[in-house]
A and B are shown apart, each in its own frame.
Chain A
Amino acid sequence: MAPVTMNAFELISTSQGLNLSSLFEK
């Protein structure tokens, strides 16, 4: 039942599209 207790925004914030550190990867 772990997913049910998840914070939806926390889940969203893990999107690769929001991971701007990838801009700096060579």
Chain B
Amino acid sequence: MGCYPSKRTKETPGYEEPTVLAAETPFTVSEVEALYELFKKLSRSVIDDGLIHKEELQLALSRNKNRRNLFADRIFDLFDVKRNGVIEFGEFVRSLGVFHPNAPVEDKIHFTFRLYDLRQTGFIEREELKEMVVALLHESDLLLSDDVVETIVDKTFCDADLKGDGKIDPEEWMEFVSKNPSLIKNMTLPYLMDITLAFPSFVLSTEVEDSE
């Protein structure tokens, strides 16, 4: 006798079966079920509709749903694969899969490239890099003169733009990250290794056995 799965499917928009999501991600079925607990918590923090809205992700990441954060916005945009203004459960699990310690490094590098390609031109451009540095300084209440910001951006851009054509392409980004692996440190969440310990309530009621 199962507990909730079939009922959840009907009631929650965008809900996908854990067995399907586990087959496509580094997570086990139990871990996907534990992630559902986290998803539910996040998706009811502002609007209780079983979907994660931008304000809800903003609130979880920056503790302030009203203060816009460029980077939280970018994370939302990448998680919202269908581009319908909300993050559904399947999108949440598949996107978090990239942050799993066992996910391929190439996937993490590719994700950061898309994250920093603000205008989605297929390149990280100098203006985008400067915009992100300014946003970070603003977020951190740090004051640096425009000259210093320009110098930091110039130096970094020069190091990464190996072809010297004024933009960083995916190949250059891969090379740059290989030389500076700390750039993808935040792309690995150790929490995901023991997500069932963080959210054990669902695991107690699961009806599906993990195959591994």
Chain A residues with a Cβ under 8 A of chain B: 3-24
Interface assignment of B70: CB less than 8 Å from any CB of chain A: yes
Contacting pair A12 B61 (CB below 8 A): no
A20 proximity list for chain B (CB < 8 A): 61, 75, 96, 99, 186, 189
A20, B35: Cα distance in complex, Å? 14
B159 proximity list for chain A (CB < 8 A): 7
CB nearest to A15 among chain B residues: B71
Within 8 A of A (CB), among B126-162: 129, 132-133, 135-136, 139-140, 144, 148, 151-153, 155-157, 159-160
B73 proximity list for chain A (CB < 8 A): 17
Contacting pair A8 B129 (CB below 8 A): yes
B42 proximity list for chain A (CB < 8 A): 23
Interface size class of B (residues with CB under 8 A): 35 or more
A19 proximity list for chain B (CB < 8 A): 61, 186
Candidates A6, A16, A17, A24; contact of B38 at CB < 8 Å: A24
Contacting pair B189 A21 (CB below 8 A): yes
How many residue pairs bridge A and B at CB < 8 Å? 96
Minimum CB–CB distance from A20 to chain B (whole Å) comes to: 6
Minimum CB–CB distance from A14 to chain B (whole Å) comes to: 7
Q: Can you spell out 5 A-B residue pairs with CB atoms less than 8 angstroms apart?
A: A16-B72, A17-B72, A17-B139, A18-B71, A21-B191
**For the complex, would chain B's binding face be called helix, strand, loop or mixed by DSSP majority?**
helix
Contacting pair A10 B75 (CB below 8 A): no
Known: A14-B140, A16-B61. 16 other contacts (CB 8 A): A4-B152, A8-B133, A9-B180, A9-B183, A10-B182, A12-B116, A15-B139, A16-B62, A17-B72, A17-B73, A18-B115, A21-B191, A23-B42, A23-B61, A24-B191, A24-B198
A20, B183: Cα distance in complex, Å? 15
Contacting pair A15 B155 (CB below 8 A): no
A13, B135: Cα distance in complex, Å? 12
Contacting pair B180 A7 (CB below 8 A): yes
B133 proximity list for chain A (CB < 8 A): 8, 11-12
Contacting pair B116 A18 (CB below 8 A): no
